[in-house]
């Protein structure tokens, strides 16, 4: 009876939580999604404040682009109206004679104007705004790449310390079992008290290493969550599997199977397509256009304007013969068309000063472009060299781990048979643990270095 009441109460509570859209206590951890590296990158990109800032800047560039198009191809149109009373002396609009009567005036006007020639300022601004929009979109890709690389490094640090913590925890369990075995063997005289003390020391070392690794894991997990803008109140769960394990493809990571390009090929591609190089090149183009605009500003500018106006007036309170409102608006209509030319003669050498500043800006942008190409070339060569070095280190770490693992197994058998001392067994264990840590560390370094080279070769981090 009590069991049935408990089950009924549990069912009612679950129904209440489901109706409110909330989770039952303890359910969040069970239903939490396990985030892969790609999931973490996608989440970080969609929640990053840097991306939001860059998207706002792209919005500004789009507005500037639209304004440049309208300024280059459309006229300005203005409409105005007025209404006022005049008290005292004024001029009669019909007779042009001064009168002293209170009068009411109302008028309307419509005007339009377009610049025919302004030293190609509008055309160059149109090209500059187009380039500025491309720069903003490319900078967005660059910010996205920076976020992905930072997330990748933090993600691999979390996986490394998590698996290291698991290894140390498993070794602590083994050391605890060994200690129990030694204590029993001491009771029957097969082990000395010194062997038991050594086993206790080994257990303390394994437990200490496990605690340290767990602390490092939590610290790196917090850093990853911060990079991702993960909610503070939610726990982040990531996939800590290694390439080659069940459900984790390792074929794209094996050297020789990926077709990774050589250094010269990557350099050639990066110098043409790297976002930083493209942005620097566009800045040179814009600086050249601004210099051309500054030079053309020394020539006259031409503009065309046209307009229409009409008006109405009367003398309130006076018994005068005044045309009706509609008739006055029709009779007082007027149009005009105006062609104007502005010739700069002397403006305190401001035009020449502007040309000098734009020429210096072009020299600066050109130097920055050359420096950026040099930096990218050096970065690519260094990235390829680091990738090849990390690959060699990883392959050697694999061999080292295999040898140390076999040595550990042999020493474990000898330890069970009493053929070696506890100190020798502990040394073999430490060497095996270090080999495992070195293999994981070298693998993650290789993955990061390989990803950097692929990025320079045109493959975005999130698509690798």
DSSP letters of 386-440? Answer: HHHHHHHHHHHHHHHHHHHHHHHHHHHHHHHHT-S-HHHHHHHHHHHHHHHHHHH
| Gap between the Cα atoms of 379 and 86, Å rounded | 77
| Alpha-carbon separation of residue 205 from 8, 208, 365, 417, 421 (angstroms) | 50, 5, 59, 24, 17
Name the token pair of 319. Answer: 């018994």
- Mean per-residue pLDDT, 154-168: 93
- Mean per-residue pLDDT, 279-290: 95
Q: What percent of the chain has pLDDT over 70?
A: 89
pLDDT of residue 32: 67
458: region left, alpha or beta (phi > 0 left; psi from -120 to 50 alpha): left
- Mean per-residue pLDDT, 297-312: 94
Range with the poorest average pLDDT among 91-95, 147-151, 319-323? 319-323
Chain segment 54-66, per-residue pLDDT in tens: 999 999 999 999 9
Going by the DSSP 8-state scheme, the letter that residue 461 receives in this structure is G
Chain segment 434-459, per-residue pLDDT in tens: 999 999 999 999 999 999 999 999 99
Domain boundaries along the sequence of the chain: 34-74+118-299+344-463, 80-117+302-343
pLDDT at residue 321 is higher than 80: no
- Mean per-residue pLDDT, 282-307: 94
pLDDT of residue 362: 96
Chain segment 354-409, per-residue pLDDT in tens: 999 999 999 999 999 999 999 999 999 999 999 999 999 999 999 999 999 999 99
Chain segment 111-137, per-residue pLDDT in tens: 999 999 988 888 899 999 999 999 999
Give strand pairing partners of 108: 81, 310
Q: Which residues have CB under 8 Å from 335's CB, separation 6+? A: 306, 307, 308
Q: Quick one: angle between helices 350-417 and 422-456, nearest 10?
A: 150
Q: Quick one: angle between helices 37-47 and 121-187, nearest 10?
A: 140
CA 358 to chain CA centroid, Å, is: 32
**Pick the residue with more confidence: 226 or 417?**
226
Cβ–Cβ < 8 Å for 132, 65? yes
Q: What percent of the chain has pLDDT over 90?
A: 62
- Mean per-residue pLDDT, 279-304: 93
**Pick the residue with more confidence: 429 or 151?**
151
pLDDT of residue 163: 92
> Cα angle vertex 108, ends 104, 110, to 5°?
165
**Pick the residue with more confidence: 278 or 263?**
278
- Mean per-residue pLDDT, 212-234: 94
Place of tokens 């080999």: 435
Q: Mean of the per-residue pLDDT values for the chain?
A: 86
pLDDT at residue 10 is higher than 70: no
**Global model pTM greater than 0.85:** no
287: nearest Cα among 349, 364, 371: 364
pLDDT of residue 26: 39
| Gap between the Cα atoms of 382 and 386, Å rounded | 6
pLDDT of residue 248: 60
**Pick the residue with more confidence: 30 or 104?**
104
Place of tokens 């025919």: 116
pLDDT at residue 253 is higher than 80: no
Pick the CATH number of 34-74+118-299+344-463 from 1.20.1600.10, 2.40.128.20, 3.40.50.11540, 3.40.50.720: 1.20.1600.10
pLDDT of residue 186: 82
Identify the band that residue 461 occupies on the pLDDT scale cut at 50, 70 and 90.
Answer: very high
pLDDT of residue 89: 86
165: nearest Cα among 223, 224, 226, 208: 208
pLDDT of residue 244: 62
- Mean per-residue pLDDT, 129-154: 94
């Amino acid at each position: 009876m009590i069991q049935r009441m408990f089950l009924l109460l549990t069912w009612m509570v679950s129904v209440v939580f489901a109706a409110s859209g909330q989770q039952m206590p303890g359910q969040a951890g069970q239903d939490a999604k396990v985030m892969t590296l790609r999931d973490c990158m996608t989440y970080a990109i969609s929640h990053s404040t840097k991306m939001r800032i860059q998207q706002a800047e792209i919005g500004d560039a789009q507005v500037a682009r639209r304004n440049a198009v309208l300024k280059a191809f459309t006229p300005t149109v203005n409409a105005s109206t007025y209404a006022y009373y005049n008290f005292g002396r004024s001029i009669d609009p019909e007779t042009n004679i001064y009168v002293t009567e209170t009068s009411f005036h109302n008028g309307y006007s419509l005007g339009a104007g377009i610049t025919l020639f302004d030293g190609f300022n509008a055309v160059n601004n149109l090209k500059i705004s187009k380039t500025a929009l491309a720069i903003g979109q490319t900078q967005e890709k660059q910010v996205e790449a920076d976020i992905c690389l930072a997330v990748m490094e933090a993600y691999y640090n979390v996986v490394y310390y998590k698996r290291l913590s698991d290894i140390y925890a498993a070794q602590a369990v083994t050391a605890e079992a060994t200690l129990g075995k030694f204590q029993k063997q001491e009771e029957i005289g097969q082990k000395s008290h010194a062997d038991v003390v050594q086993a206790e020391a080994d257990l303390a070392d394994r437990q200490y290493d496990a605690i340290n690794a767990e602390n490092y894991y939590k610290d790196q997990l917090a850093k990853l969550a911060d990079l991702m803008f993960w909610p503070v109140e939610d726990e982040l769960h990531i996939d800590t599997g290694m390439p080659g394990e069940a459900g984790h493809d390792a074929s794209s990571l094996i050297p020789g199977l990926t077709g990774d390009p050589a250094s010269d090929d990557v350099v050639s591609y990066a110098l043409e397509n790297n976002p930083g190089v493209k942005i620097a090149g566009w800045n040179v183009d814009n600086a050249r256009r601004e210099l051309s605009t500054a030079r053309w500003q020394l020539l006259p500018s031409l503009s065309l304007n046209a307009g229409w106006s009409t008006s109405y007036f009367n003398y309130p309170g006076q018994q005068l013969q005044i045309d009706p409102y509609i008739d006055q608006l029709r009779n007082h209509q007027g149009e005009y068309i105006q062609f104007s030319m502005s010739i700069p003669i002397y403006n305190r050498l401001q035009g020449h000063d502007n040309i000098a500043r734009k020429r210096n800006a072009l020299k600066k942008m050109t130097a920055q472009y050359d420096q950026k190409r040099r930096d990218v070339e050096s970065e690519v060569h260094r990235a390829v060299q680091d990738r090849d070095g990390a690959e060699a280190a990883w392959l050697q770490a694999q061999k080292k781990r295999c040898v140390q693992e076999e040595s550990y197994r042999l020493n474990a058998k000898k330890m069970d048979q009493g053929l070696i001392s506890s100190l020798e067994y502990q040394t073999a264990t430490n060497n095996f643990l270090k080999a495992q840590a070195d293999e994981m560390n070298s693998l993650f370094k290789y993955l990061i270095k390989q990803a950097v080279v692929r990025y320079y070769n045109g493959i975005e981090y999130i698509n690798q």
